[in-house]
Structure 1
Amino acid sequence: MMTDTQSATPALCRLQLGSELRQIRLEAGLTSTQVVKKLLWSPSKLTRLETGDNATVEPADIMALCQIYAVDDETAELLKGYAAVTKTKREWWQSTAFRPILGPGAKAFLGLESSASALHSYNSEYVPGLLQTPEYVRVLHRHASGGRSDEDIERMVEMRMMRQNVLRRVPPLKFATVINEAVIRRHVGGHSVMRAQLAHIIEAASTPNVKVQVIPFTAGVYRAMNGSFTTLRFRDDSTLKPIVYLEHLADHWVMRREADVELYEDAFNELQTLAPGPQESLDLIRKAMEEL
């Protein structure tokens, strides 16, 4: 159970609160249907609380749940503390500048990413967002944003750069990524944009919390060929279990089932084994730069 709410982000408090509320409900032997009937809530309200999907959490709602679950005073105060953080602090992406360009899926992922202690990603088509340059981001959004204005695209560029602060915070996010060789070979925005992007990956990989590997074409067939994915782990003092985040053109979703998470974590470990080590992978990136 996480007790340091002073330094915790609102997103982490929402996730932690949801995880603990669900665990307490199960220990009390209550179904979600029984709880919402007692409180005259909609089923979706309790679901959003338990999955951490609400932007803010009302302390009064937590007090009502604590009464039903008969939790002790110390636990009740801690849970209300989590809720209070969501009411008094704001995440950077909740600013008016970013609100118009952020859908629910993006908000959900930003909350997860900002709360994670370690993030592993496999990227089959483009450079992972945490390693993208402004010019690379700009080109991607001009082709994928469905006629967005230049102003909105610049907001997206700014937002992507803000996201990358997780790599420089204290303590920094531990980020390991395996990228398909196609990512470093695909010309996004022309030679100069791509050279700068590859140079940035090499620079980022020089920091101790960032590890980059490239899975070469010569690796042949492997389990993760059917798409990109991200796995996230959270602080040791939290009750949050690892999760998987998947995103496609029309949808996104989070997978929490232990067997599913284990499948993706095993696939990532396999990728790291198949790919050349970090130094050899950076040599592949340097070679791609030279060929540009």
Structure 2
Amino acid sequence: MATDSKSRAALCRLQLGSELRQLRVAIGLKSTQVVKQLIWSPSKLTRLESGENASVETSDVMALCEIYGADREKRALLVGYAAVTKTKQDWWQSPEYRPVIGPQFKAFLGLEATASVLQTYESEFVSGLLQTEAYVRVIHQRAHQGLGADEVDKLVAVRVTRQEVLRREVAPLKFTAIVNEAVLRRQVGSRSVMRDQLRHIAELADSMPNVRVQVIPFKLGAHSGMNGPFVVLHFPDRAVLKPIVYLENLADAWVTRREDSVERYGEAFTDLSALAPGPQESLSMIQTAIKEL
């Protein structure tokens, strides 16, 4: 399991959930049948299979393995995954951040922390992994009016801490961000804040081999990302965790694992990557926007 300590618990949760679901499906059991046998709430099994729980009880895993008829080797592996979730805490589960992170976004942070490749298209603002503190602070102050200064500080800290996945010691995340030209042109905060933000993007794209940034110019007209932003996540072991798509809007956020949907978004990202100018030409667009500020 090649990952650093900060993502190990999340990876174990996700692998555990995926393998438990595969065992259930393999013997033809519906989730409703399983929870009825164990006298669980339906949401408990859903959270377990999707890797949303902060930690997993080994007794729960053993009970499921008994129902699914898992062999001794598989049981030991899954119980081991559960044990890690009890001893290793994800940074976003700490009391400091817990009040400002909703359950959907916690699930996404677990996915992001364990992904090997992340591909995102953004139409309105700079991708989270590329944002400066000043830029993200302006966004949260505007989007979450009424929050106290302390809560805004925590939201900013969450965004900045997320960015560690780009610099992790073991297999740093391979990150490709495709952004609409509007992202460069829309001034968020003061001219100084926006100028520093664009410089930050240029520096990351130029200095980090695992970061790739492309810009969709206005002149290219209609494209496959016009229905809105999306994130496609790929994982080290596709046999355990297949690619997943993360979507969000003003009121909600969700993950889709449906193969047809994931394939559709994957194709859209491939189309956008082919349509957009390459990294060097996109970097020139960013530098031009900096000069204009």
Taking structure 1 as the reference length, what is the TM-score of the superposition?
0.96
Which one-letter code corresponds to 1:174 in the other structure? K
Which one-letter code corresponds to 1:79 in the other structure? L
Query: What is the rounded CA distance, in whole Å, between the counterparts of 2:191 and 2:3 in structure 1?
Result: 47
1:115-139 superposed Cα distances (whole Å, 9 cap, x missing partner): 1111000000000000000110111
My pick for the range that moved more, 3-12 or 66-75, is 3-12
1:86-131 superposed Cα distances (whole Å, 9 cap, x missing partner): 1111011112211121111221111111011110000000000000
Query: What is the rounded CA distance, in whole Å, between the counterparts of 2:3 and 2:119 in structure 1?
Result: 26
2:24 corresponds in structure 1 to: 25
Query: What is the rounded CA distance, in whole Å, between the counterparts of 2:175 and 2:282 in structure 1?
Result: 16
2:171 corresponds in structure 1 to: 171
Instruction: Report the secondary structure of 2:189's partner residue.
Output: coil
Instruction: Report the secondary structure of 2:116's partner residue.
Output: strand
1:133-171 superposed Cα distances (whole Å, 9 cap, x missing partner): 011011111101121111111111111111000000021
1:159-205 superposed Cα distances (whole Å, 9 cap, x missing partner): 11110000000210000010000000011111111110000001111
Instruction: Report the secondary structure of 1:205's partner residue.
Output: helix
Instruction: Report the secondary structure of 1:161's partner residue.
Output: helix
> Which blocks of at least 5 consecutive residues in structure 1 are unaligned?
none
Instruction: Report the secondary structure of 1:127's partner residue.
Output: coil
1:130 corresponds in structure 2 to: 129
1:180 corresponds in structure 2 to: 180
Q: Which runs of 4+ in 1 moved over 3 A?
A: 3-8
Instruction: Report the secondary structure of 2:107's partner residue.
Output: helix
| C-alpha contact (below 8 Å) 1:5/1:85 kept by paired residues | no
2:203 corresponds in structure 1 to: 203
**Identical aligned residues as a percent:** 61
Shift of 1:4: 6.5
| C-alpha contact (below 8 Å) 1:231/1:244 kept by paired residues | yes
| C-alpha contact (below 8 Å) 2:125/2:183 kept by paired residues | yes
Instruction: Report the secondary structure of 2:226's partner residue.
Output: helix
CA-based RMSD of the aligned residues comes to 1.4
| C-alpha contact (below 8 Å) 1:5/1:82 kept by paired residues | no
Query: What is the rounded CA distance, in whole Å, between the counterparts of 1:221 and 1:285 in structure 2?
Result: 21
Shift of 1:245: 0.3
Which one-letter code corresponds to 1:285 in the other structure? I
Count of residues paired in the alignment: 290
2:272 corresponds in structure 1 to: 271
Query: What is the rounded CA distance, in whole Å, between the counterparts of 2:247 and 2:77 in structure 1?
Result: 32
My pick for the range that moved more, 94-103 or 255-264, is 94-103
Query: What is the rounded CA distance, in whole Å, between the counterparts of 1:6 and 1:167 in structure 2?
Result: 12
1:1-292 aligned within 5 A: 9-169=8-168, 170-206=170-206, 207-236=208-237, 239-292=240-293
Which one-letter code corresponds to 1:280 in the other structure? E
My pick for the range that moved more, 180-189 or 30-39, is 30-39
> Which blocks of at least 5 consecutive residues in structure 2 are unaligned?
none
Over 3 Å counting, the alpha-carbon distance change for 1:5 and 1:289 in structure 2 is closer
Taking structure 2 as the reference length, what is the TM-score of the superposition?
0.96
